[in-house]
Every structure is written in C-alpha cells, then in structure tokens.
Amino acid sequence: MNFKLSEIVGHMKPSEIRELLKYATSNDIVSFGGGMPDPSTFPKKEIREIIDDVIEKNSDQALQYGNTAGLDTLRAELKKFVSRKEGIETDDDKIIVTAGSQQALYAIGRIFTDPGDPIITESPTYVGAVSAFNANAADMIQIRMDENGIVTDEVERRITDLEGKGRKPKFIYVIPNFQNPTGVTLSLDRRKHLLEISENHEIPIVEDNPYGELRYSGSKIPSIKSLDRNGNVIYMGSFSKIMSPGLRLGYIVSSEEVTNTVNLLKQALDLSTNTLSQFIAYEYLKRNIIDRQVPKSIEIYRNKRDVMLASLEKYFSDVGTWTKPEGGMFVWATVKGDINTSKMLMSAVRKGVIYVSGPAFTADNSHTRSMRLNFTFPENEKLIEGIKRLSEVVKAEEAKISNQAENKI
C-alpha cells in the first residue's frame, strides 16, 4: 500500500554523512567524512573489566529497565565531573542522562520549538543539530563565524530584528569548543557577550560541549554555563569522544524544569537510556579511568591534527585555506576557486577520498566552497595520502572549470 506520511517528514533531509559512513569502512578510501574517534582510544580493557564486575555484582539492575532520568549513581558522578572539569555547580536532579548528545539535541529542539519557530545557530553548525532542529521544523537562523567563533554582534542584531517582527528566537545553540564543523573556539569575550545577550533578551543558550576535553594546544576557556548566574544556559555533554560512541551516552545539565520536561519527552522517546552503558560510564568516572584515558587520546589526536595541518600546508596551500583547531576532531577547508564541494564529492570518492561538503552544515545550502575534514579516525599515512588526493581532486576540478570556460569562449 502507499503510506501517507506526516508533513514533518518533508522537513527532514538525508544526512550526507550517514550515507558516507558506508564508504568509510572500505580500505582503499581515505575517509575524512565521519566524526568517529580512533578505535585505539577506546578503553577496551577497562570496559571489559567493568562489565565483568557489573554483570557479576549488579546484573539484576544493569540488564533491567532504569529510571528515565538516568542511573542515580551516574548522575551523582556527573555532578562532580562537570564541577571538576567545567566549573559547573549543579545538582543531581538538574542532570538528565540521554542516548548520546544527539538525543539531547532532539529533545531540546522538541520541547522549545513549535514548527516555524526561529532559533539561532552558528553558520555552519553540527549536522546532527541540523537534523534534530529540522525534524522539529524549527526555522534555523544561522549567524556567521570568524576565527573567534560566532559573531555575537551579529547575533544581537538579528535577535533585535526578529523581536521587532514578534519572532523572538527560542534559543541560541552554540558549540563553543573546537566547533563542529569548523574547529573554531569561541573566545572568552564572545562567551561573555553571548551570555549578556541571553540575559538582556531572555533567550536561553544551548551550550553543546562534546569535544571540550580534547584540547591539544592553547589554554582552556571557561564554559558559558560556568559563567551563568541566572540559569540561562542549558549545557550538554557526551561520552562519545572520551569513552565510546557506541555506548550512546550524553547528558543535559540545566534547571529542574528542563530536566523534568525532557524526562517527560524521554518517556515517549525510549523510556530510559541503556542501563548497562550507564553502569559502565559510572564506573569509568568513579574509578577515574577517564583521567588516565583522555590524555592518551589527546596524545594521539594532537599528533594526527599536526599531520593533517602539515599535509594541508604541503599539498593544499595553493588551492585553499583551512582552520587551525586547538582541539576536537575537525578542520574546515575552503577552496579558493569557484568550486562546489557537493558537486566535487563524487570525483573525490572516485579518487579515493571522502569529506563532508559545506552545505550539509546549513539550512540554506550555503558554504558551497567549504568542506569538513575529520582527522581523528584515519591513520597517519592515510591523513597524508588523503590530503594529497584531495588536492589533486580540487586541481582537476579547477582544470575542468577553466576548460568549460574556455569552451564557452
């Protein structure tokens, strides 16, 4: 039979990245496309030990349904963790555990926006946020970034503008540290300005911080939530980049009102988060494995970042520019010529290299000359080879364009 689907389906668009993941496992292809951690950073020995202990001592709980808000013990550890790492002082009942921070994004989108409601995001922004906000038919107003992150003066201008039209944005969504996809970090001044805007206009800030622990150079900048005195900031964290993404664990730190409302929605979404995963994360924090594990990841990723930046310097300087992230997983590269990276993608796949093109990170298909390059997953030699191939693809594309131009003359 022909199914008649809801209108909301029309707002969802397939993610180029999820499609690309299919290629990512092929051996002869260098994939800069995913946002996957290097599996060598997975604490597999420790996870195995934890699971053995948990199944031995707590299987009745660990294999059973759990509370919708999350394991009490895990929430208590998270409270200590965000205090110690991010200077965020909160209470257990202001924390809710989610199925990755992707579920947090969807839930925040769902409980704040009705179809057509405006929200503010960076341009470009995380593709999963685009999915989550599109799935709620929110109207994403994307504000440009520079080397210090989202341009807050422009945020303020746009908000004033929208308010004048009776369309106050429901929240401001930012990834302040090593942003996905640009790798750019929001400066302290801008963080303070954003908080000021939030207070003046009474618009909450959604601070997404999946990569904060992964800093390879430069100095830590305080989280916006730690500067927040009025409960304006909804903070999101994730275990995907500091433990394992396959265990699907994230969390929200906010007010009790937000926690309770997300809880209510989560009863509809999935009843509760994977209990075994929560036991693993609890022990991971409690036994302080995290403080031994993350420095190892930082070593590996710093080196990979340096290899990618050196390769870009060597092979890409004449065809494009790129950001120089102090942490995280991504470099954002922009070609000099009038090349559309979406259209170039199939040529790149044929040459054996994959990236995610700029428009995937937007609601308006802008950033057509840019692409996101992940440096955490590929091995070092692949990083070099991939950038070399990418440079060749761009040059071939430039030649094609200049040929077409000549043919027209």
| Contacting a copy of itself within 213-272 (CB under 8 A) | 230-232, 240, 244-248, 255, 257-258, 261, 264-265, 267-272
8 A C-beta contact, residue 282 and residue 301: no
Residue 7 DSSP one-character state: G
14 part of the interface to a copy of itself, by CB under 8 A:
yes
| Burial group, residue 138, by CB count within 10 angstroms (0-12, 13-18, 19+) | buried
346 part of the interface to a copy of itself, by CB under 8 A:
no
- Cβ proximity to a copy of itself: between 199 and 306 the closer is 199
How many residues of this chain bind a copy of itself (CB under 8 A)?
A: 86
Q: Smallest gap, in angstroms, from Cβ of residue 401 to a copy of itself?
A: 33
- Cβ proximity to a copy of itself: between 14 and 164 the closer is 14
- In this structure, are strands 118-123 and 139-146 parallel, antiparallel, or unpaired? parallel
Q: Smallest gap, in angstroms, from Cβ of residue 161 to a copy of itself?
A: 19
8 A C-beta contact, residue 24 and residue 33: yes
- In this structure, are strands 250-253 and 233-238 parallel, antiparallel, or unpaired? antiparallel
For residue 24, count other CB atoms closer than 10 A to its CB: 18
| Burial group, residue 255, by CB count within 10 angstroms (0-12, 13-18, 19+) | middle
**Contact with a copy of itself (CB under 8 A) among 27, 28, 65, 408:** 65
Q: Residues for the chain: how many in total?
A: 409
**Contact with a copy of itself (CB under 8 A) among 23, 67, 298, 321:** 67
1 part of the interface to a copy of itself, by CB under 8 A:
yes
**Contact with a copy of itself (CB under 8 A) among 76, 135, 298, 396:** 135
**Contact with a copy of itself (CB under 8 A) among 28, 60, 346, 407:** 60
90 part of the interface to a copy of itself, by CB under 8 A:
no
Q: Smallest gap, in angstroms, from Cβ of residue 75 to a copy of itself?
A: 14
300 part of the interface to a copy of itself, by CB under 8 A:
no
| Burial group, residue 22, by CB count within 10 angstroms (0-12, 13-18, 19+) | exposed
8 A C-beta contact, residue 363 and residue 130: yes
- Cβ proximity to a copy of itself: between 40 and 317 the closer is 40
Give kind and range of the element (H or E) at residue 285: helix 275-286
Give kind and range of the element (H or E) at residue 206: strand 205-208
131 part of the interface to a copy of itself, by CB under 8 A:
yes
**Contact with a copy of itself (CB under 8 A) among 77, 86, 117, 213:** 117
> Which residues ranging from 145 to 204 are in contact with a copy of itself (CB under 8 A)?
170, 199, 202, 204
Q: Smallest gap, in angstroms, from Cβ of residue 25 to a copy of itself?
A: 9
